[in-house]
């Protein structure tokens, strides 16, 4: 069975085919595209950072306290920097969410501009500000150190051609001849795959930081837990099951019993050597087996596609019949409990149905992942948002179904979208 292709850089780094895949080039593109953005931000921070470092250096090394003019400049500059940071961080965050697709295919929805006052009052905006300072402060330091190592490695590779010049090549020590430089060059060539992996690790770490900082924390107004009465659903299910069993017992079963008796009497009246004896015996056996099959159907109602294709295949089948483009990402390992698998299937089915009927979306994404001991189902669409369980969109019944297996359903659907339905189902056996 062919493994599913990785959807993000940290997954690709664990694959043996990393070096011969497109992911090293995607990581390199992500790193190189970071340089101009981080460079511009670092230049802006140096306007305040350089005088601050100079003042600290003068105080620590020479005991000279900073002057009043410098302190005033630092105070005004720092306050001005903090004042404009929530505004500057918004377009930077938009660009960073877009660039993140180079190394992470998972969607990272961008919130709309909430207004000037809201930017200063939002916790998510200040997380973007923290990311802004990290991108302009920490990232350039890491990149500069890594660049020095790369330049050192390139210098070792080219040392055999430079060793014959008038000036000796200095790496760890002066190298005057080509023979002395060749071992350094060999070691440098062998280190090239290491630098390739190091580039991927740097890009993956930065991508993880970006996703953590730019994934807006969902507050109670934006992400509402809509799980409802587990007892009500379980009681309703048990009542419906008993009603079906009663209908079978009082309706279908007597007819089948009568049919079985009639076939049994007919078998007694028909000689064994008669041509009708064999078909009659088969019909009699099928009638007796029908009651067993009906009882099994009542106790184990389950979509056939789940049995035949598994959860990932069944979700893909639901995506294929949807009237809008739906992408399914499945990262499942190991077997799932049957009730969890069935619940997840109905979550995807109902959520996609809501997207088609109510969201006004042009596309949707379904993600199935195992996180620790839970199965996490996420359905995202680019519709107009504003989903409300109180308006009869089916979310209440879906939350009851999820609660029946000790799971929870979370909804994020701000006006203007996007909408995210996240379901966490424990996979205890």
What's residue 219's pLDDT? 46
Please state the domain extents for the chain: 23-214, 238-299, 304-426
Return the H-helix or E-strand segment holding 223. strand 223-225
pLDDT value at position 199?
Answer: 92
What is the reported pLDDT for 232?
Answer: 58
Domain 304-426 coded CATH 3.30.565.10: yes
Q: What is the mean pLDDT of residues 6-24?
A: 86
Strands (DSSP E) contained in 300-384 are 326-331, 364-371, 374-381
Structure tokens given for 196: 């390739």
Mean of pLDDT values over 346-362? 83
pLDDT digits (tens, 9 = 90+) for 153-177: 888 888 777 766 556 565 666 676 7
Cα 140 to Cα 42: distance, rounded to the nearest angstrom: 7
Tokens of 423: 């379901």
Q: How does 139-163 read in b/e, with b if 16+ C-beta sit within 10 Å?
A: bbeebeeeeeeeeebebbbebbeeb
Q: Is the pLDDT of residue 374 over 80?
A: yes
Least confident range of 29-33, 110-114, 375-379: 110-114
- The two three-digit tokens of residue 380, written as one number: 């995202």
Q: Give the mean model confidence (pLDDT) for residues 329-340.
A: 81
Query: Could you give the percent of the chain with pLDDT greater than 70?
Result: 76
In three-state secondary structure terms, 314 is helix
Q: What's the confidence (pLDDT) of residue 220?
A: 44
**Selected residue with higher pLDDT from 370 and 245:** 370
Q: What is the pLDDT of residue 227?
A: 39
Q: List pLDDT tens digits, range 270-300.
A: 777 777 777 777 777 777 777 666 655 554 4
Residue 146 has pLDDT above 90, yes or no: yes
Number of separate helices (H) and strands (E) present in the chain: 13, 8
- Bridge partners of 408, per DSSP, are 424
Name the token pair of 197. 């992996």
Nearest to 199 by CA among 135, 146, 131: 146
Give, in degrees to the nearest 5, the angle at Cα 7 between 104 and 41: 10
Question: How much is the pLDDT for 28?
Answer: 92
| Higher local confidence (pLDDT), 304 or 281 | 281
Stronger pLDDT, 274 or 232, i.e. the higher one: 274
- Dist. CA 336–CA 49, nearest whole Å: 54
Q: Kind and range of the H or E element at 285?
A: helix 277-299
Which H/E stretch holds residue 169? strand 169-170
Please tell me whether the overall predicted TM-score, pTM, comes out greater than 0.75 for this model. no
What is the C-alpha separation between 86 and 125, in angstroms, rounded?
A: 6
* The pLDDT of residue 120 is above 60: yes
Q: How large a percentage of the chain has pLDDT more than 90?
A: 9
Predicted confidence (pLDDT) at residue 228 exceeds the cutoff of 50: no
Measure the CA angle with vertex 122, ends 121 and 127; round to 5°. Answer: 125
């Amino acid at each position: 069975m062919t493994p599913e292709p990785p959807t993000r850089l940290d997954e690709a780094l664990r694959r043996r085919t990393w070096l011969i895949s497109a992911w090293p080039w995607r990581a390199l593109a992500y790193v190189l595209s970071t340089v101009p953005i981080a460079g511009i931000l670092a230049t802006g921070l140096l306007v305040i950072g350089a005088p601050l470092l100079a003042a600290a250096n003068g105080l620590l090394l020479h005991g000279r306290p900073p002057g009043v003019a410098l302190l005033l400049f630092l105070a005004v500059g720092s306050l001005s920097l903090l004042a404009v940071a929530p505004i500057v961080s918004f377009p930077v965050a938009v660009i960073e969410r877009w660039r993140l697709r180079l190394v992470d295919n998972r969607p990272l929805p961008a919130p709309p501009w909430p207004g000037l006052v809201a930017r200063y009052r939002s916790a998510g905006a200040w997380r973007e500000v923290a990311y802004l300072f990290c991108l302009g402060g920490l990232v350039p330091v890491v990149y500069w150190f890594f660049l020095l190592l790369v330049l050192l490695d390139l210098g070792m590779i080219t040392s055999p051609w430079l060793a014959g010049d008038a000036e000796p090549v200095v790496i760890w020590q002066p190298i005057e001849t080509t023979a002395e430089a060749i071992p350094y060059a060999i070691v440098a060539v062998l280190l090239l795959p290491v630098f390739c992996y190091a580039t991927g690790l740097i890009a993956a770490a930065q991508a993880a930081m970006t996703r953590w900082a730019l994934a807006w924390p969902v507050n109670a107004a934006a992400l509402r837990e809509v799980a409802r009465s587990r007892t009500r659903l379980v009681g309703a299910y048990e009542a419906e099951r008993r009603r079906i069993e009663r209908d079978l017992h009082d309706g279908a079963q007597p007819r089948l019993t009568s049919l079985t008796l009639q076939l049994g009497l007919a078998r007694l009246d028909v000689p064994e050597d008669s041509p009708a004896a064999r078909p009659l015996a088969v019909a009699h056996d099928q009638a007796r087996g029908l009651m067993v099959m009906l009882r099994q159907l009542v106790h184990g109602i389950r979509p056939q596609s789940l049995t035949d294709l598994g959860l990932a295949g069944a979700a893909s089948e639901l995506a294929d019949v949807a009237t809008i483009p739906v992408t399914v990402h499945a990262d499942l390992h190991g077997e799932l409990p049957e009730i969890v698998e069935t619940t997840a299937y109905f979550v995807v089915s109902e959520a996609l149905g809501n997207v088609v009927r109510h969201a006004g979306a042009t596309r949707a994404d379904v993600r199935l992942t195992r996180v620790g001991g839970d199965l996490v189902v996420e359905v995202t669409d680019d519709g107009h948002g504003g989903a409300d369980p109180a308006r009869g969109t089916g979310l209440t019944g879906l939350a009851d179904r999820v609660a029946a297996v000790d799971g929870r359903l979370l909804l994020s659907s701000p006006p203007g979208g996007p909408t995210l339905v996240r379901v966490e189902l424990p996979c205890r056996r």
